[in-house]
Chain A
Amino acid sequence: MNALAVADSGRALARRKARRRLTARPLSVIGLVGVVVVVLVALLANWISPHDPTLPNFGQVLAPPGAGGHLLGTDQLGRDVLSRLFYGSRTTLVAGVLATVLGTLVAVPIGLVAGYFRGWTDVVISRLVDVVLAFPFLIFAVGLAAILGPSLRNVVLALGVAQIPGVIRVVRGEVFAQRELEYVQAEVVNGTPTRTIMFRHILPNVLNPVVVQTSLAVPATIVGAAILSFLGLGVQPPTADWGTMLSDAENYLGQAPWLGVFPGVAIFLTTLCFNLFGDGLRDALDPTAR
């Protein structure tokens, strides 16, 4: 049996073991359930929302929770808070998940190249990574919003770019390690083209840490999206968005404190569920990691 086949069958066994470890921990299952709930809410927001999230109702401004058919009250323009929470999950998920996934997709090939070829390629890429990390992220996000105008697309862009350095580093580190292993050396001796080695052989083995890194990055990106919206750099009004709802609530803390509570709880719970699930995933895929 050649080295490759051994590696392949080993991987399949590891995957089965991982799945078992994942489902064994109750907290990570709760996390997964939470994530699924949020995704469902986002998909079904049209059907489960009791009111139109963007239609102002000037007669019922700042109604407290429970008043007049509004379970969580209304905001400063009379819009139903519950419906806005449901619709807001869309922008949160798009920003959080999409940005992370896009950033990862861009970063993995770069990390592969840096880790495999080393030498000057690696030096240049590493310095660029350092510069991006040393640069205050918010300046980049604000600048982007200033040039292109605040929008969800720019939030995704800014957050996606912020993901790239971290993933590059993880992939690069893994590729360093994998490169020296027997099965890779065997392929090199055999004369297999570099591209095949990198993408067909090394990449699958690098995926585990990338998946872990991504799942841990999603909650941070969700909070990052909320921060950008909170600073006025996110979606345009009247689109419902949890971060924007919080920044609006700041003006009404005295009159309507509940406006500042519910969107924050939504962000908190969503992030917590992603964290719980991500933790479980990390433990399952790599139980020896700290």
Chain B
Amino acid sequence: MLSRPTRLIVAVSALSLVLTSCTASVLGAARNAGYLVVALAGQTGILDPTQSSTFDSRIVFANMCEKLYDVNANLKLVPELAAALPTISADGLTYDIPIRSGIRFNDGSALDADAVRTSLMHYKTDALSARKSELKPVTSIQALNPTTVRLHLKTPFSPLTSILADRSGMVLSPGALAREGDNFGRNPVCVGPFSFQAEPNPDEIDLTRSPFYYNSKSVTLPGITFRVVVQPAVRATDLRSGDIDVIEQAAPQDLTTLSSDPGLNTKTVPSLGYTGIYINVGNVNGSTKASGTVNNVLAKYPALRQALDLSLDRVAINKVVFDGDYTPSCTPLPTTGQWAPNLTCPTRDIAKARQLVAQTGLPTPITIDLLVPNDSLNEELGTVIQAMAKDAGFDVRVDATEFTTLLSDGASGRFQAQITGWSGRLDPDQDISQFYLPLSSLNYSGNNDTQINTLIDEGRTTVDTAARRQIYRQIAQAALAQRGIIYLYDAGLTLASKKNVTGIGYFGDALIRLQRASLGGTA
């Protein structure tokens, strides 16, 4: 009944459909049964701890690349591949790290002090290593015996153990490293409950249960599939429709729907990092060059920075833009935990702000060009800041900018003010030094405050935790007064999962630990 051309069309369409789909599935990852599906908020980038530069890669590493040290539910440092916390000499210049025995990499080779040394040296010396600055104070590394590694430092550096609880502490299989070199990320081999299986495209990573893991008895899941879903609204809908088992960074807008859903669990932890307005107070030639005088009215008149700060209502910003789910903040330090400085943030004071503006004698309104990332939420934040600052006599122009351009402008100093964030680290020094010390590549603002610089140096060379707490509190107060960065909030990082997923370890560092996770009941 169908004419010949019609039949031809139908046949060709059906054939091409079948062909393309077969190709897709043959070349694509096998969608394995029983695997837990986790939606990540961003791409992981290269899966090599040496070169890794994204937050989401750390989530994948948390399940396939164990470290010398990790943190427990209370964010206290605990040994993971190390046997105990390091023994630090009295002068703080020698670290002895005991290594556990009987541990094998996911390719079956044995972990020993030599392997640890190889990894650390790789992080220190490889041309593409992003870990170099973290390990700068370490001058030499020795494998004293198969179960002890000794680090020599040129100056005391208290953040070191925390740093070894992040990527710099991940031990790579020496065999794989020797074989792959800079392409280690295509087939990474470490120690972990799961091992790398496949990465068919930048938006999907599959891990499979490792038979070599020293605690494989505790692992229930046969594997994990990480999928990148950038839009938070889509992550939430996928979770609710059952396509995905676990999502990270659920948007504040979706929190009510997700937490009231009887089939889902949610857990929110405050970010260790922050988001704030970076003001160009001295970045003339680039962040790694010496700071100088910048043609920025906010740099010339510190009182204007104070006026801007006083025109903002952090609580209202949190309520309007983030549904009240984030935590208003005015310091680079976390708002909870042992390093929280517990400062009282300034409240909105328009009268004082106007007075400060008037005292400068400048004609109002004062124009500020504020660069913001060009996504809806950040543009909203910029708009709210614009509305609030208007009352003090500022004309804030919201300049939605594409993300890479934003980074490039920040590093080169081609901006007046920009909204930027930092994902946060365990040690307070890592939340501060890179953004305030002169010649630091992340010091977009071009900060060079003598008091802050001295305190930073003190903070990282002091060993006693209580003393350090005091020092960082002082730094927070000094930063609040200097306002090279006007801190706004600490994001609330929400994990949402189906009720039948149990055993997820989700602590204050917002990493998703799935070693003891299991997928029960109706999958």
On whether A and B touch (CB less than 8 Å), the answer reads yes
Measuring CB to CB, which residues of chain A are less than 8 angstroms from any residue of chain B? 55-56, 58, 61, 76-77, 142, 145-146, 149-150, 232-233, 236-238, 247-248, 250-255
Let me know if A237 and B384 touch, CB within 8 A: no
Q: Among the interface residues B254, B374, B397, which one has the most CB atoms of the partner chain A within 10 A? A: B374
**What chain A residues lie within 8 Å of B402 (beta carbons)?**
142, 145-146, 150, 232
A261 to chain B, nearest CB (A): 16
| Segment of B231-239, B337-345, B484-492, B502-510 engaged in the interface with chain A | B231-239
User: Contacts A77-B320, A77-B380, A237-B379 hold; do A253 and B398 have CB atoms under 8 A apart?
Assistant: no
Q: Among the interface residues B232, B316, B319, B402, which one has the most CB atoms of the partner chain A within 10 A? A: B402
The answer for the CA separation of A140 and B87 in the assembled complex, in Å, is 57
The answer for the CA separation of A77 and B377 in the assembled complex, in Å, is 11
Let me know if A255 and B384 touch, CB within 8 A: no
The answer for the CA separation of A251 and B375 in the assembled complex, in Å, is 11
CB under 8 Å from chain A, chain B span 217-249: 231-233, 236-237
**What chain B residues lie within 8 Å of A250 (beta carbons)?**
231, 233, 376
Let me know if A251 and B383 touch, CB within 8 A: no
Let me know if A237 and B253 touch, CB within 8 A: no
The answer for the CA separation of A253 and B320 in the assembled complex, in Å, is 17
Let me know if B379 and A146 touch, CB within 8 A: no
Who on chain B is nearest to A142 by CB? B402
The answer for the CA separation of A150 and B406 in the assembled complex, in Å, is 12
Does B382 lie at the interface of the complex (its beta carbon under 8 Å from any beta carbon of A)?
Answer: yes
CB under 8 Å from chain A, chain B span 348-378: 374-377
**What chain B residues lie within 8 Å of A61 (beta carbons)?**
320
Contact of A251 among B320, B374, B377, B400 (CB under 8 A): B377
Let me know if B232 and A58 touch, CB within 8 A: no
Q: Among the interface residues A58, A77, A142, A252, which one has the most CB atoms of the partner chain B within 10 A? A: A58
A76 to chain B, nearest CB (A): 6
CB under 8 Å from chain A, chain B span 19-63: none
Let me know if A55 and B376 touch, CB within 8 A: no
Does B399 lie at the interface of the complex (its beta carbon under 8 Å from any beta carbon of A)?
Answer: yes
B234 to chain A, nearest CB (A): 8
Who on chain B is nearest to A78 by CB? B320
The answer for the CA separation of A146 and B402 in the assembled complex, in Å, is 6
**What chain A residues lie within 8 Å of B236 (beta carbons)?**
254
**What chain B residues lie within 8 Å of A77 (beta carbons)?**
320, 380, 383-384
**What chain A residues lie within 8 Å of B254 (beta carbons)?**
254
Let me know if B379 and A251 touch, CB within 8 A: no
Let me know if A149 and B233 touch, CB within 8 A: no
Pairs of residues from A and B, 6 with the lowest C-beta to C-beta distance, nearest first: A232-B374, A237-B379, A146-B402, A248-B376, A254-B257, A238-B383
Let me know if B387 and A56 touch, CB within 8 A: yes
Let me know if A150 and B374 touch, CB within 8 A: yes
Contact of B380 among A145, A236, A248 (CB under 8 A): A248
**What chain A residues lie within 8 Å of B379 (beta carbons)?**
232, 237, 248
Let me know if A237 and B233 touch, CB within 8 A: no
Let me know if A238 and B405 touch, CB within 8 A: no
The answer for the CA separation of A281 and B209 in the assembled complex, in Å, is 66
Does B171 lie at the interface of the complex (its beta carbon under 8 Å from any beta carbon of A)?
Answer: no
The answer for the CA separation of A248 and B257 in the assembled complex, in Å, is 18
The answer for the CA separation of A56 and B257 in the assembled complex, in Å, is 25
Let me know if B383 and A56 touch, CB within 8 A: yes
Contact of B320 among A58, A150, A236, A238 (CB under 8 A): A58
* Given A55-B387, A232-B375, A237-B380, 7 additional A-B pairs, CB 8 A: A58-B316, A150-B400, A150-B401, A232-B376, A236-B397, A237-B400, A254-B254
Who on chain A is nearest to B371 by CB? A149
Let me know if A236 and B376 touch, CB within 8 A: no
User: Contacts A146-B405, A251-B233 hold; do A236 and B387 have CB atoms under 8 A apart?
Assistant: no
Who on chain A is nearest to B319 by CB? A58
Let me know if B256 and A56 touch, CB within 8 A: no
**What chain A residues lie within 8 Å of B256 (beta carbons)?**
255
A-B contact pairs, 28 of them (CB 8 A): A56-B387, A58-B319, A61-B320, A76-B380, A77-B380, A142-B402, A146-B404, A149-B400, A150-B400, A150-B401, A150-B402, A232-B375, A232-B402, A236-B397, A236-B398, A237-B380, A237-B382, A237-B383, A237-B400, A238-B398, A250-B231, A251-B251, A251-B376, A251-B377, A254-B233, A254-B236, A254-B253, A255-B257
Who on chain A is nearest to B387 by CB? A56
Does B448 lie at the interface of the complex (its beta carbon under 8 Å from any beta carbon of A)?
Answer: no
The answer for the CA separation of A111 and B377 in the assembled complex, in Å, is 45
**What chain B residues lie within 8 Å of A247 (beta carbons)?**
376
**What chain A residues lie within 8 Å of B251 (beta carbons)?**
251
A63 to chain B, nearest CB (A): 13
**What chain B residues lie within 8 Å of A149 (beta carbons)?**
399-401, 405
**What chain A residues lie within 8 Å of B447 (beta carbons)?**
none
The answer for the CA separation of A126 and B237 in the assembled complex, in Å, is 47
CB under 8 Å from chain A, chain B span 244-298: 251, 253-254, 256-257
Does B386 lie at the interface of the complex (its beta carbon under 8 Å from any beta carbon of A)?
Answer: yes
CB under 8 Å from chain A, chain B span 194-235: 231-233
A57 to chain B, nearest CB (A): 9
A263 to chain B, nearest CB (A): 13
A58 to chain B, nearest CB (A): 5
A94 to chain B, nearest CB (A): 18
The answer for the CA separation of A114 and B379 in the assembled complex, in Å, is 45
CB under 8 Å from chain A, chain B span 308-325: 316, 319-320
**What chain B residues lie within 8 Å of A150 (beta carbons)?**
374, 400-402
The answer for the CA separation of A233 and B403 in the assembled complex, in Å, is 12
The answer for the CA separation of A237 and B383 in the assembled complex, in Å, is 7
**What chain B residues lie within 8 Å of A238 (beta carbons)?**
383, 386, 398
